[in-house]
Amino acid sequence: MNSFFPSLVIELHNRCEKVILLLENLSLPSEIEPNLKNTIKKSIAIKSDLESILTDPDFGAPELLLNQINSYKRCYESYSLIEKIQLPILLRYSKKDEFFHAFLKYSLSQVNYNIETPLISAASSNYYEVFADKNPVLSSFFVPVVDDLFLLNLPDLFHEIGHLIFFHYEKELSNEFISQLNAHLSKEKSRMIVENRPFNPVFYENFEELWKESWVKEHTSNMIATYCLGQSFGWQCLRICANTGEDVYFPAKIDIKPDDHPSFESQIQGILEILKIMGMTSASSRLNKKWNHYKSICHFEKPTEHDHCYPDHLMKALAQNVFDGCTTIGLKSFISQKHTKNEINIPLILDEAWTLFQTDPKKFLTWEDAAVKSLKASLCKKS
């Protein structure tokens, strides 16, 4: 390893140099200059970290080799993320990306999340997703390749925006909830002992890890999207569920750790909660009615474990925490968007799209074409 390790560091340093050169020679539209500059800056920082390893007077000292290899690995991972995330977007920046950049920029300002616009690529093979970075301008969104032609999926972009907001405001959005989650866990564990019930430690370990590491993030992102868009996010969630055919109560048995996503049933319950807190009770009832109807058609059966995984009082606590957090951060809710007279009002356009889609599907198709054209023209004019 002693002779192999320096070669690894030197080779990665060379890669960084080449990538920096490649990026410096790119000619891109002015709106993504900050993204390009920051990607170069990050690549230079990695290169500099590698130089620090190479020029360390103790480079290769047996006492430090383990730690130096660890430092190298973190550099490699950082470089690798640039190569996989930012670099392909910058190298293949297209007209579609340009439209989505304008759309994202406008959406962020409309919900009053004032950050420099992250990168966005309209070439996702993995539906909507976001790579969240501490530096917002290095964060990167991915959207499906034809979604500049349609409206109904767009609420999912707000779910990804929710992830980014959570990344930067975790305390405001979930601290109170985490205290309640911890209290719930202690109470449940004591109850098992007092009532002499069979205690399954794996369930509680997985419950804690899933909630803290994944579910709180997914639910919060849903709730932020609902806070900004109102019911249209809920309708889109129902549509995704119908399209994928997933059992709405999966996962409920968490003795074996499942995937990161919470069940659709709990997601819809979270959305309904936040709609109620926002005072949108009739929207919440409409969504609940359709959701129950969908479940009854598909004959999904609720396992008893479901309520243990997603306790009702915790869902309510999280919704309240997210609502309070959104207010503290200063995000604009759907209710306040309703009263603004912007030339482009994305939450209202999506709300109208979802209403028309359900009331008059045929009319919706022609309306959607015109709305997309008008949205593109207005955003083009603005940028």
Partner 1 sequence: MSNLGVFSHRYSSMSDLSREINDATIIIKKAHYNLAGKKDISPSQLAESRQYLTDVFINLMKNIQPEIHDFDSEIKKPIQLPISFIDHVKNSNKSEMTYFIDDLKKIINHLEKDQNLSLQDLKILDKMCSIMDEETSASFRKFWRKRSI
Q: Both tokens of residue 13?
A: 């340093």
Contact 189, 204 (CB under 8 A): yes
> What's the one-letter identity of residue 141?
F
d(CA 317, CA 265): 17
Whole-number Å distance between alpha carbons of 268 and 262: 10
Peptide bond preceding 251 in cis form (omega within 30 of 0): yes
For position 295 contacting partner 1 by CB under 8 A, the verdict is: no
Taking the least distance from each CB to partner 1, the nearer of 17 and 129 is 129
By CB under 8 A, what part of segment 60-79 binds partner 1?
A: 61, 63-64, 66-68, 70-71, 73-74, 77-78
The CB-of-357 to partner 1 minimum distance in angstroms stands at 20
Least Cβ distance, residue 380 to partner 1 (angstroms): 29
Q: Is 250 exposed, middle or buried (0-12, 13-18, 19+ CB in 10 A)?
A: middle
CB of 205 to partner 1, least distance (A): 7
56: which 2 tokens? 């360390």
- The count of C-alpha atoms lying within 13 angstroms of the C-alpha of 5, restricted to the half-sphere facing its C-beta, is 19
Using the rule CB under 8 A, give the single segment among 14-22, 28-36, 143-151, 212-220 that binds partner 1.
212-220
Candidate residues 93, 128, 177, 235; the one interacting with partner 1 per rule CB under 8 A: 128
Tokens matching residue 60:
């290769």
126: Cα separation from own chain's centroid = 13
Q: Which stretch binds partner 1 (CB under 8 A): 8-16, 203-211, 282-290, 297-305?
A: 203-211
Which of 95, 134, 299, 341: binder of partner 1 (CB under 8 A)?
134
Size of the site for partner 1 (CB under 8 A): 47
Q: Which of 11, 33, 58, 312 binds partner 1 (CB under 8 A)?
A: 58
Look at the alpha carbons of 187, 191, 194, 200 in this order and tell me if their dihedral is positive or negative: negative
Q: Pattern of binders to partner 1 over 224-253, x per CB under 8 A?
A: ----------------x-------------
Burial (CB count within 10 angstroms: exposed 0-12, middle 13-18, buried 19+), residue 233: buried
Q: How far apart are CA 368 and CA 365, in angstroms?
A: 5
Distance of closest approach, residue 124 Cβ to partner 1, in angstroms: 9
Q: Which residue has the tokens 């950049």?
A: 101
56 lies in the site for partner 1, by CB under 8 A = yes
Strands of the sheet containing 140-144, edge to edge, are 119-124, 140-144, 129-131
Least distance in angstroms from the C-beta of 74 to partner 1? 5
Segment contacting partner 1 (CB under 8 A): 14-22, 156-164, 296-304, 372-380? 156-164
Binding site for partner 1 (CB under 8 A): 56-58, 61, 63-64, 66-68, 70-71, 73-74, 77-78, 80, 84, 126-134, 142, 156, 159-160, 163-164, 166-167, 205, 208-209, 212-214, 217-218, 221, 240, 259-261
